Amino acid sequence: MSVDRRPSDDSTTGPQAPSMQQVDAAIDAKAQRLKQELKQELTQELTKHFDTKIDSSKIEIMNHMDRLMGNAGAGGAEEDA
């Protein structure tokens, strides 16, 4: 009992496997989309992080200036008295 392993005529009408070039193109396209999404997400997160850092630094500077001005004002008042 031998088995014929040749494809029959009706097998050509079935689904075809993609070529390696199609697979490579699909992988490259997916990689580019993921890379772009990651870049956008990282940019957003870094911007948010540094905006928060800048805002907190501004607050620290303002608080420090207020203390300096308060000390200078108090010191000046004592010298005038």
CA angle 50, 53, 56 (to 5 degrees): 150
State the Cα–Cα distance between residues 37 and 42, nearest whole angstrom: 9
Model-level pTM?
Answer: 0.48
3 assigned to some structural domain: no
What is the per-residue pLDDT for 81? 47
Residue 47 located in a structural domain? yes
pLDDT of residue 61: 92
Low-confidence ranges of the chain (pLDDT < 50): 78-81
**pLDDT for residue 25:** 96
Residue 31 sits in which domain range? 20-72
pLDDT at position 79 is 47
Is residue 38 in a domain?
yes
In a domain, 12, yes or no: no
In 4-80 the beta strands, taken as DSSP E runs, fall at: none
Residue 6 lies in a domain: no
Residue 48 lies in a domain: yes
- Tell me the helix, strand and coil percentages in the chain, rounded to 5: 80, 0, 20
Question: Domains in the chain: how many in total?
Answer: 1
